[in-house]
Amino acid sequence: MSQPKTKKETEDLLELYRQMLLIRRFEEASAKAYSMGKIGGFCHLYIGQEAVGVGAISALEQKDYIVSTYRDHGHALARGLEPKSLMAELYGKKTGIVSGNGGSMHFFDKKKNFMGGHGIVGGHISLAAGIAYASKYRGDGAVTLCFFGEGAANIGSFHEGMNLAAIWKLPLVMICENNHYAMGTPEYRALSVKDVSVRAAAYDIARDHIEGDEVRKVREHVRVAVERARRGEGPTLMEISTYRFRGHSMSDPAKYRTKEELDKYKQGDPLIKAEKDLLSSGWAQEELTKMDEIILKTVEESVDFAEKSEEPPLGWLYKHVYAENV
C-alpha cells in the first residue's frame, strides 16, 4: 500500500502501530517471565505475526466474534482485552481473565465476543462455524472471524467447518496464518498444495491470499471478506503469509531453521515497516519513542499486577469446575 498522506490516515496507522507494539512488548515480557519460571505450562508467542491479528481484527465491529488458536495473546490484545488480566492469566492467578483456569492457550472474554483460545489444533474451526450459524439463525448481523495455522488445514474439523459454512452460507471468515512451520515441520513437508486458500474451490467459496507484513493491507483485504459475509454472501477462506520470530513455543529452540532465514524475515518486520511509514509521513522519532515508553510502562504494570495478585485457593479448580459437573 502507499504511504498514508492525510492526517486521518497517519493517525489511523499510528493506532494500528500502537496495537502491534503493545503485543510485541507484552510477548517479550511474557517470554521473560516464562524464562524465570513465573509462567508454567505452554506459552506460544505471537512475535512477528502482529500485523495479521491487528489488521484483521480492526476490520470487525464490536458485535462480531473472534475464535483463536493456542497462539492467542496477540488476538486478545488486538480485541481490547485488558493486559493486566491477561498477564495474570498467564501467571495462573485468580485475577486472570478466566480466573487462572485457562493459562496461555485459553484466553476468553464473552463481553468482548472473544470466544477462546483453543488448544486442540484445528478443532475450533467447526466451533467457529457453529457460532456463525447462531448469528445467522438469530439474524444479528454478526460475522465470526476464525484464526488457524497451516498445520490445522489438514485436520478433519477444518474441512467439516468449511463444508458446513459453504452449505449454509455462514457469515464466517477463516484466516490461515501461515507462518510456514507447523510446530517444527516446514509447510513443504505437510501441504500438497502450498497455498491453503485454493482449497476454497473444493467448497465453492470465496478465497484470498496476501502477505501479512503490512497491517493496513491486511485490514483492507479482511474487510472485503467481512463485508461479503455480512451481506449474506457466504464465507471466505484466506491465507495470510506471515512468520514467527520465536520458536513454536517457549520450549522450542527452533533449530530446524537457519539464522539466515530468520534474518531475512526480520527485515520484513511489520512493526519496522509501519514505523518507517509513520516517520515518512511526518511523525517524529521522539513521538514514537514516547509511545513505546508508555506501552512499556503499561506492560510493566501488568506484570506487577500479576505478581501481586492472589493465587486461587487450593482445590478451587476441582470445586468450581469438576465437582459441579459430576
Task: Render 266-317 in DSSP notation, one character per residue.
Answer: HTT-HHHHHHHHHHHTT--HHHHHHHHHHHHHHHHHHHHHHHHSPPPPTTHH
316, part of any domain: no
Query: What's residue 312's pLDDT?
Result: 86
Q: For 114-143, what is the mean pLDDT?
A: 97
Which tens digit of pLDDT belongs to each residue from 2-23?
778 788 999 999 999 999 999 9
30, 24, 22, 23: which is closest to 87 by C-alpha?
30
325, part of any domain: no
Query: What's residue 315's pLDDT?
Result: 72
The answer to whether residue 143 scores a pLDDT higher than 50 is yes
Rounded to whole angstroms, the Cα distance separating 29 from 243 reads 20
Rounded to whole angstroms, the Cα distance separating 55 from 275 reads 15
Q: For 115-120, what is the mean pLDDT?
A: 96
Q: For 47-53, what is the mean pLDDT?
A: 98
Q: For 186-204, what is the mean pLDDT?
A: 94
53, part of any domain: yes
The CATH number covering residue 197 comes to 3.40.50.970
Query: What's residue 4's pLDDT?
Result: 81
The answer to whether residue 234 scores a pLDDT higher than 80 is yes
The answer to whether residue 325 scores a pLDDT higher than 60 is no
Q: What is the band of 322 on the pLDDT scale with cuts at 50, 70, 90?
A: low
- The type of residue at 135 is S
The total number of structural domains in the chain stands at 1
82, part of any domain: yes
Query: What's residue 326's pLDDT?
Result: 45
314, part of any domain: no
309, part of any domain: no
Q: For 97-101, what is the mean pLDDT?
A: 93
The answer to whether residue 205 scores a pLDDT higher than 60 is yes
Q: For 220-246, what is the mean pLDDT?
A: 98
Which tens digit of pLDDT belongs to each residue from 260-312?
999 999 999 999 999 999 999 999 999 999 999 999 999 999 999 999 999 98
Q: What is the band of 135 on the pLDDT scale with cuts at 50, 70, 90?
A: very high
Rounded to whole angstroms, the Cα distance separating 125 from 121 reads 9
Average pLDDT, the chain: 95
Rounded to whole angstroms, the Cα distance separating 248 from 44 reads 6
| pLDDT higher at 1 or 120 | 120
**Domain membership of residue 285 as a residue range:** 10-206+213-297
305, part of any domain: no
The answer to whether residue 323 scores a pLDDT higher than 60 is no
92, part of any domain: yes
Which tens digit of pLDDT belongs to each residue from 58-70?
999 999 999 999 9
Q: What is the band of 324 on the pLDDT scale with cuts at 50, 70, 90?
A: low
134 DSSP assignment: H
Query: What's residue 320's pLDDT?
Result: 60
Query: What's residue 140's pLDDT?
Result: 97
